[in-house]
Amino acid sequence: MLRHYLTMALRRFARQKLYSFINLLGLAVGLSAAILILLFVRDQLSYDDWIPDTSDLYRLEVTFHAPGQAPLALALCPFPVLTAVGQQIAQVSAVTHVVREKMTMSAGDRHFSEQVTVVDPDFFQMIRLPLLEGSAAGVLAQPESIVLSEHEAHKYFGDVDPVGKTLRVSGVWDKCQPNDVACYGQSHILTVTGVLRDLPHNTQLVADFVMPNTSQADLMSTADKTSGWTNAGGNYGYLALAPGAQRRAVMQSVAALVDRSIDGRQFGLDQPASRFMQFELTPFRAVHLTDGKLGGLTPPGSRTIVFGFALVAVLIVLVASFNFMNLSTARATLRAREIALRKLTGAKRGQLMAQFLGEAVLTTLISLVLALSAIEVLLPAYERFLGDPTAFHYLRDWRLLAELVGGTIVVGLLSGFYPALVLSGFRPAAALATGGPGASGSGLLRSSLVVGQFAVSIGLAVAAIVVFQQVLFARARDWGIDSRNVIVIRDIGNLPLAARERLQQVLSNGPGIVGAALSTAVPFSLNDINNMTVQPLGSSTKIEAQWIDITPAFPGLYSMHLLAGRFLSQSRGNDVSADWADKNVLINLAMARRMGLTPEQALGKRFELPGISLKMPMRIAGVVANGLYYDSRSPARATVYLVDASRYLSLSVKVRATQLPEAQSYIDHTLRSLASDVVLTRYFLRDSFEGMFRPDELQAEMLAAFAGIAVLIACLGLFGLVVFTAERSTKEIGIRKVSGARTLDVVRLMLWRISIPVLLANLIAWPAAYVYLRHWLEGYTHRISLSPIYFLAAGGAALLIAWATVYANTLRLAHTSPVRALRSE
């Protein structure tokens, strides 16, 4: 019986080549797109699930709620807060600090600038990363020890066993006075005590070099570890809950701890500190998909995007399934006699349904084979597009393969159920008496399926257009600075202050260099900013502001817009004085507005730090446009710029575009000659600017690609439906032409019939897309409006594509001779 059904199914494929091709291609394309999305979703959901025993592990994160400003949600945690949580909250069984520090690593005469992960000695006992050599309890037990990844071990020591070898590290600026040259010249010898397997890409952690924070080489000062209760910069905190501990109860204990330990009045706040600093516990395996958290160890994913694309995969498979159902029910009339004869010879309706469902499943399984073949070809390009490996190995991923086969069978059963119901319901007498069907399926259902197909396609197209437009808008808007042709040299804090100032001076006079400026932070990289509460004199308003130390050349180098007053000057004593009392500063527009003043009104106004007993009122010398942002979504925050040489960490160098090679060569030569013991790295600020938009661009490109696939599948089905309709409407066309209809009239009629479901699809897709996109755009402070043009463009494009799909066949039908048309039936 099965062999008989299989033979009949293959014969149908051979006899109905066009429709079989359309069904197979539509399903294969839909399944290919769904599998690609599934691989992306699986990869995003797999972050850190390969690390054992993390069910009770959490990351402690802080969100700052400054009065009058948008919340600042960080992936970070102040160092002493986590320490106190581990010591004072009984429900917490263990904690570990993770801090990323830039150091110069040396082996012999080779020097490299490296990011070192500095952790508590029990880090590997708490987070069980795969050690190839050494034990979790012993590798960091000694203070002057270090664990290397496989890659770094080979880089420094080749094929020799690195355990027991030593590395020299330098970079201890946070423990030195600005001009204590002897302190800056210190280096420390660390012994390699373990080797860590290279971590895969799907992890939140970075662990090429892991060093205990008990080492003398740790850059963080004791003061920052004990008193920096509100300083979250660069500090990550992980904790393990004791068995039976409730997360809600732990968070209440953390809030109480913060209130006991921090006096809100110290920061000018008339409320408990836990209202200003709110902490959250994020499950370890959920860290990667935390939307809106800034400053993670690795770039975060987005739960919204992941599950949104999972929905897109389902919709694309539905579009492909609609094709199968449409063509199968439309061509049901051609199988009327076959079914009638089978019923007359004793076939039961259940047997017929089993046959037709079997044919549907066979079609989808063949489509799956074609889809997997396409995946083999497309996967390398897809991996390059995503920037992450998403390999699919049939044997290693046998569970996924089994799920795909099972899912495909379900798709086949669901796609074939209604056609099987229609086909098996034919009445033998009516079919044999007229040569036609006893039933032909619902034309309303077929129209509804076409509407559904195009609704999905149009909705995805609108989303892609809006995301692209938002990215273009964000790129083109005035960011308050000019980031072009700026090279940033990071981590110059590893040099004494005199060396930093000397480096700025030498580079300022180099070939092809316009100027150089020192600062605490640079645009789009604001992790090193201090936040302080200020209070305007004579006002009860307290403002949380970010403080950025700069040299007077900084605003001019970045072409910052002066809205009122003047820039700071090296020649004015109160601008550059080390004494903060009566010091002149710059503020940005956001700060002026927080003070309730226009830029002109803010000039000359004074403010102080209310939490400091020694009053040090400062005077506003100028107001500049907002120019420093955390990312492309966040609003500008109130900012104070002042000259304070003690914390310069970055050097910005503006170069002429026409002399870029000469300038780069000069910068590299100068860095080697003036900072021979410390490796300093440089990067183009424009790369950071472009990187802000990459996630949204990736989302838009994926939406556009999958919208195109949905349109392609819908048009395939539409083409097949039109070809079939043309075959069945030849007599109607002949009668119309005999009655005087012109070819143009016939073409208009057929195109109008096609237009109706597409227009109805717009009425469904537009409201759904509007609601989703309005919510998505709310995540941007500066955003586009949802112009009707975007919706009309997507809907009009879908209509034109539908017309183009059927036009040639419609025109051929309209040119058919009336005599031939009337004879055809």
* DSSP letters spanning 200-237: PSS-S---SEEEETTSTT--S-HHHHHH-TT--TTEEE
Secondary structure of residue 387 in the 3-state scheme: coil
Check residues 545 and 154 and name the one with the higher pLDDT.
154
- Are 187 and 169 contacting, i.e. CB atoms less than 8 angstroms apart? yes
Task: Report the percent of the chain where pLDDT is more than 90.
Answer: 34
Average pLDDT over residues 766-775: 91
Q: Is residue 188 part of a domain?
A: yes
pLDDT at 381 exceeding the cut of 70: yes
Q: For residue 725, what pLDDT is reported?
A: 62
Q: How confident is the model at residue 450 (pLDDT cuts 50, 70, 90)?
A: confident
Q: For the segment 189-230, what is each residue's pLDDT rounded down to a tens digit?
A: 999 999 999 999 999 999 999 999 999 888 887 878 888 787
Q: For residue 126, what pLDDT is reported?
A: 95
Q: How confident is the model at residue 440 (pLDDT cuts 50, 70, 90)?
A: very low
Per-residue tokens: 509: 């006079």
Q: For the segment 242-265, what is each residue's pLDDT rounded down to a tens digit?
A: 998 999 999 999 999 998 888 766
Q: For residue 645, what pLDDT is reported?
A: 75
In a shared domain, residues 274 and 248? yes
In a shared domain, residues 708 and 738? yes
In a shared domain, residues 778 and 633? no
In a shared domain, residues 231 and 363? no
In a shared domain, residues 316 and 188? no
Q: For residue 739, what pLDDT is reported?
A: 61
Per-residue tokens: 443: 């034309």
Q: How confident is the model at residue 438 (pLDDT cuts 50, 70, 90)?
A: very low
In a shared domain, residues 280 and 309? no
Q: For residue 439, what pLDDT is reported?
A: 43
* Closest residue by Cα to residue 496 from 219, 174, 115, 112: 174
Domains held by the chain: number: 3
Average pLDDT over residues 31-50: 92
In a shared domain, residues 214 and 270? yes
In a shared domain, residues 665 and 705? no
In a shared domain, residues 272 and 312? no
- Are 638 and 590 contacting, i.e. CB atoms less than 8 angstroms apart? yes
Q: Which H/E stretch holds residue 282?
A: strand 277-283
Q: What's the DSSP call for residue 294?
A: B
Per-residue tokens: 559: 């072409």
Check residues 341 and 96 and name the one with the higher pLDDT.
96
Sign for the pseudo-dihedral over CA of 721, 723, 725, 728? negative
Tell which of 289, 318, 338 closes a domain: 289
Per-residue tokens: 422: 């229609």
3-class SS shares of the chain: helix, strand, coil, % to 5:
50, 15, 30
Q: Is residue 298 part of a domain?
A: no
pLDDT at 374 exceeding the cut of 70: yes
pLDDT at 591 exceeding the cut of 80: yes
Residue 74 and residue 278: Cα distance in Å, rounded?
Answer: 10
In a shared domain, residues 246 and 362? no
The CA radius of gyration of the chain, in Å to the nearest whole number, is 34
In a shared domain, residues 548 and 455? no
Q: For the segment 539-569, what is each residue's pLDDT rounded down to a tens digit?
A: 777 788 888 999 999 999 999 999 999 999 9
Q: Is residue 773 part of a domain?
A: yes
Question: What is the residue whose two structure tokens read 């996924």?
Answer: 400
Range of 349's domain? 2-44+303-474+695-823
- Are 241 and 250 contacting, i.e. CB atoms less than 8 angstroms apart? yes
In a shared domain, residues 468 and 542? no
* Closest residue by Cα to residue 587 from 576, 603, 572: 603
Q: Is residue 443 part of a domain?
A: yes
Tell which of 632, 657, 680 closes a domain: 680
Q: For residue 441, what pLDDT is reported?
A: 47
pLDDT at 432 exceeding the cut of 60: no
Q: For the segment 636-691, what is each residue's pLDDT rounded down to a tens digit?
A: 888 999 998 777 888 999 999 999 999 999 998 888 887 767 778 889 999 888 88
Q: Is residue 107 part of a domain?
A: yes
Q: Is residue 67 part of a domain?
A: no
Q: Is residue 350 part of a domain?
A: yes
